[in-house]
Structure 1
């Protein structure tokens, strides 16, 4: 349970960076990288972390339309 909480905390911090990129694909790639890295640090499954981070990056402009680089 503690590892899962750490993973979600790391992804919450990383979600502030997923808006980096001009296109949805670039934001998804950035999110996947950050999610995978956060999962590796917390000892969770890297693939799951990358998938969650990539999804967060892909929809970041839908959730936060006023974020930088969101047109």
Structure 2
């Protein structure tokens, strides 16, 4: 892996960690919706890229589905 690519990944991980750290004031339902959306977006992007489709479309659909399921989970 090139040093530039590693730096981008590290910066992205740091940004996401800091962004999620600011969610302590959210209700449990809101936290589940946010984490479900993030997990769904990552999974959708991965599946879209692996199957030869659009990673962006997969991320959008996966994120929407994950957020909905997370919000509906009790």
TM-score (norm 2): 0.54
**Larger helix percent:** 2
For the residues of structure 1 that align with 2:39 and 2:61, how far apart are their CA atoms? 12
- Closer, same or farther in 2 for the Cα pair 1:28/1:61, shift >3 Å? closer
Q: 1:40 aligns with which of 31, 38, 49?
A: 49
Greater CA radius of gyration, 1 or 2? Answer: 2
Q: Which runs of 5+ in 2 are unaligned?
A: 1-30
CA RMSD, Structure 1 to Structure 2 (Å): 1.6
